[in-house]
């Protein structure tokens, strides 16, 4: 029986054609009329309302699917009942562990593969942008432009600054390479400190975070959200950072005590923050972070590059081939570790 793969979020027709050419053994089912139209390029969470007839058609497709490209966000709770043949989901996001656990999917025997690595470069470049904006005093530039004020000022440079990277997975390692290219000192944490990591000057174990924090000019959070990292950067840890330090969070908002971070930013005990993620999301309109001039907010969009679907397509093709061959899949989620 031919395996059926159902595409559950938008892909451009050229990528659908590429998958079909590359893996003709799989019946790829793509019905863009039954899924959300993208609000922006590489949008994989677009809302969609179906007519009763369309919903019946979609449920029929789910019932026949062996593989899903992306999660079906219109049927999070009842997906196990609607997709009894489902064996594997290829996600379009890297940080899916808490999502999988939260909906009980981890108990179903399904295989999950993440998009780990797909977003590494865009996220590393976002961190670099944030570091440059702070080191070059962009907030003052913007303020003076808005007020039509011409007043000279000084700035600094990244060379010689220390960046601490919490979590040296694919994103963290990409960021390390970028920072090293700018002459920065790079330190970071990872579980296994027995082997060196390219472009990283010194490795620390996760339980040595208190040694890392006082050293850094920039702290980049790149770690997965797991029970161990939930609330990792609490008020005590934030207090260990220098008043001149900048916090960059491209991980998950729940990793940081947001109230303590906001208080430190307001009191001048933390120089700035660049936040791709917050807790909660969306960030409420009355949250003080919106109004702080030393905060950059990127609306969980730092990873959403126009190159994303091209990379996701290639990853899915490789994994489809591996699946057919009975070979290990790339980026398979460990449902115990949640990454």
**How would DSSP label each residue in 221-242?**
E-----TTTTT-B-HHHHHHS-
Helix (H, G, I), strand (E, B) or coil at 68: strand
Q: Please state, as a whole number, how many other Cβ atoms lie within 10 Å of the Cβ of residue 56.
A: 10
The answer on pLDDT for 1 being more than 90 is no
Q: What is the pLDDT of residues 15-54, one digit of tens each?
A: 999 999 999 999 999 999 999 999 999 999 999 899 999 9
Active-site residue 252, yes or no?
yes
Token pair for 310: 């091209």
- C-alpha 145/C-alpha 139 separation (Å) is 10
Average pLDDT (160-172) is 97
CA distances from 205 to 189, 250, 275 (A): 5, 20, 24
Q: What is the pLDDT of residues 4-24, one digit of tens each?
A: 999 999 999 999 999 999 999
The answer on pLDDT for 263 being more than 90 is yes
DSSP 8-state code for residue 256: B
Question: Which residue among the candidates 252, 259, 291, 321 is catalytic per the annotation?
Answer: 252
The answer on pLDDT for 78 being more than 90 is yes
Q: What is the pLDDT of residues 167-197, one digit of tens each?
A: 999 999 999 999 999 999 999 999 999 989 9
**Structural domains of the chain, with CATH:** 4-117+305-325 (3.40.50.720), 120-297 (3.40.50.720)
Instruction: Judge contact between 318 and 332, C-beta under 8 A.
Output: no
Active-site residue 48, yes or no?
no
What's the pTM value of the predicted model, to 2 decimals? 0.95
Question: Which residue among the candidates 73, 236, 300, 318 is catalytic per the annotation?
Answer: 300
Instruction: Judge contact between 72 and 8, C-beta under 8 A.
Output: yes
Q: What is the pLDDT of residues 189-227, one digit of tens each?
A: 999 999 899 999 999 999 999 999 999 999 999 999 999
Helix (H) or strand (E) holding 55: helix 52-64
Q: What is the pLDDT of residues 279-337, one digit of tens each?
A: 999 999 999 999 999 999 999 999 999 999 999 999 999 999 999 999 999 999 999 99
């Amino acid at each position: 029986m031919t395996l059926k793969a159902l595409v559950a979020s938008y892909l451009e027709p050229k990528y659908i054609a590429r998958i079909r050419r590359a893996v003709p053994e799989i019946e790829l089912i793509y019905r863009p009329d039954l899924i959300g139209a993208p609000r922006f390029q590489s949008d994989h969470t677009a809302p969609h309302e179906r007519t009763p007839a369309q919903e019946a058609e979609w449920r029929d497709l789910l019932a026949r699917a062996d593989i899903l490209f992306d999660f079906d966000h219109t049927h999070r709770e009842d997906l196990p009942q609607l997709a009894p043949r489902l064996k594997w989901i290829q996600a379009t996001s890297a940080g899916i562990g808490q999502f999988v656990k939260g909906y009980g999917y981890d108990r179903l025997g399904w295989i999950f593969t993440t998009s780990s690595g797909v977003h590494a470069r865009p996220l590393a470049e976002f961190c670099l942008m944030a570091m440059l904006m702070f080191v070059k005093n962009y907030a003052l530039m913007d303020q003076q432009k808005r007020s039509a004020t011409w007043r000279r000022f000084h700035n600094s440079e990244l060379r010689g600054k220390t960046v601490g990277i919490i979590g040296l997975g694919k994103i963290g390692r990409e960021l390390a390479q970028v920072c090293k290219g700018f002459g920065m000192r790079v330190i970071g944490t990872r579980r296994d400190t027995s082997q060196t990591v390219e472009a990283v000057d010194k490795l620390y174990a996760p339980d040595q975070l208190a040694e890392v924090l006082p050293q850094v000019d920039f702290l980049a959070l790149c770690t997965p959200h797991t029970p161990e990292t939930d609330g990792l950067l609490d008020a005590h840890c934030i207090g260990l950072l220098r008043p001149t330090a900048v916090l960059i969070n491209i991980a998950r908002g729940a990793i940081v005590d947001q109230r303590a971070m906001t208080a430190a930013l307001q009191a001048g005990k933390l120089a700035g923050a660049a936040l791709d993620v917050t807790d909660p999301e969306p960030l409420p309109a009355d949250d003080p972070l919106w109004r702080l001039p030393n905060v950059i907010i990127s609306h969980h969009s730092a990873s959403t590059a126009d190159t994303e679907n091209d990379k996701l397509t290639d990853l899915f093709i490789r994994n489809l081939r591996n699946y057919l061959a009975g070979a290990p899949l790339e980026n398979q989620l460990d449902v115990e570790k949640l990454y």
